[in-house]
Structure formats: structure tokens, C-alpha cells
Structure 1
Amino acid sequence: TAVDTDFTAKLVDVYPPSEDFPSGFDMNITDGIIRARYRNSSSRPELMAPGELYEFVIEPFPTANHFKAGHRIRIDVSSSNFPRFDVNPNTGEPLGQHRRSMPADNSIYHEAAHASHVVLPIVAVR
């Protein structure tokens, strides 16, 4: 519903319950963000047409993690990761010069015609 917005993805190692953490523990491993206006080029902003479908690739910062037995892998997807990344006013105004903000109602499609996916490379332990 907005001409600009952000999509963030966070890779999380979900620890099982333990004596120290009876409810378990969630550890952020890495994250990434894409600002919609820069989805095709970091030097040529392109605003969106509300209601249209767009593809976004979120590249997290490189990392490595050994997910131990009993742990779960979680991907958190959101339109904000403040205060790690600045808030997007979603208006399309020049960055740092906006005079207003508006909410963005975003959807992630995960159906056959509009498949979403996560790539998690696995490397052998030496």
C-alpha cells in the first residue's frame, strides 16, 4: 500500500529450554535489509505502484553457525528492524528529508505462482 517500504530478514538460532533458560533462548545470527526503492539498483531509486507485486532479494551479512541438535532455525521477516536500521517513512520522499510517515501494509506471497524461498548453504564440518 506504500510507494516505498523496507523488508528485513533475520536468521535466528532457537535454543531449546534448559536449566538456565526454561523457556529457551533465541539468538540472532545475522540479518539483512532491502529498501524497496533500491530493489533493482543501489544508485537509481524506483518507487513502487501500490497493489503491484514485486520480488525482493534480501542478502544477509555473511556468517556461519553450527545449529546443534535440538535447536531450530527461524527466519524473521519484517518491514522494520529499528534501531539496527533507520525507519522508512514509506512515503517515497527523499531520504532524511521526509515531512510525514505512513503505514505500509505489506504481504509476502508463498504460493505456487509466487513462491518465496530461503537459501541456507550447508558446509561440511572439518
Structure 2
Amino acid sequence: MLTLLLTCLIRSQVSPQNPRHEKFWRQHQDFPRTKVAGQNYCGTMMLRRRMARPCKDTNSFVHAPKSQLKDICGWAGTHYRRDLRLSKEQLSVTTCKLQGTSHGQCRYWSHTGQRQIHIRCDLSGWPIRFEESNFM
């Protein structure tokens, strides 16, 4: 009985269903990269992912599986500073920066490239924050 209780407690702490984990996935993970008609990837994604009302200034989407991003909290990342982790590998990332608004619509500049990323992980080893200040 004690083993079952302990297992349930551990699973609840590492569950990807945690609201902080889900927010990270919604805001920063897009794998495989979503195909968008035309050239408006950022505008479309920011709207779909509920970051365009109000317009979020900067956001990055990492085009890697959840398992690869979670691994940065462990063996696939290194301590960077304070409580940040730096990915050991470069990942495909699209960064969206707000250019302004037009007729109530957010207009974004986008850049896709390969780079290392900085994330913050919780104590259970799940990503909870993408560090935007270190892009490009």
C-alpha cells in the first residue's frame, strides 16, 4: 500500500498535465513544424496558441519533440546560470517578434534557424519557461 501511495505521489509530481508544463508546450513547442498557408507562420501560430490578444511581444517555437525538450532538463542540457539549462544541441527554432498592429491584428517578424536554447525546469525535471532574452 505504501509503495502504491509513493508511486502515485511521484507520478503526480512529474505529470506533463501540470498547468505550467502545458503552458510551456502551448507557447513554445511546435513539432512537427505547423504548415501555414502563405508567409504568416508567426501571425497564425500566435493567434492559434492564444498569444495574440493582447499581442505578445516575443515568442519562440521550438521544432523538436516533447521528449527532446524534456531531456534538456537532464542529460541533454547543462547548467547555464541560476536555474537555467542550456541545450547541448542546436535545435530548429522560429522566433516571432511583434512589428506592430494593423486593423487590430498583430504583425510579426519571424526568423527560423538552428540554435541552442535556454529553458527553466521545475524540480521534477519538466520545462516550465523558455528564456527569450538569449535568442539569436
TM-score (norm 2): 0.25
Structure with bigger strand share is 2
Structure with bigger helix share is 2
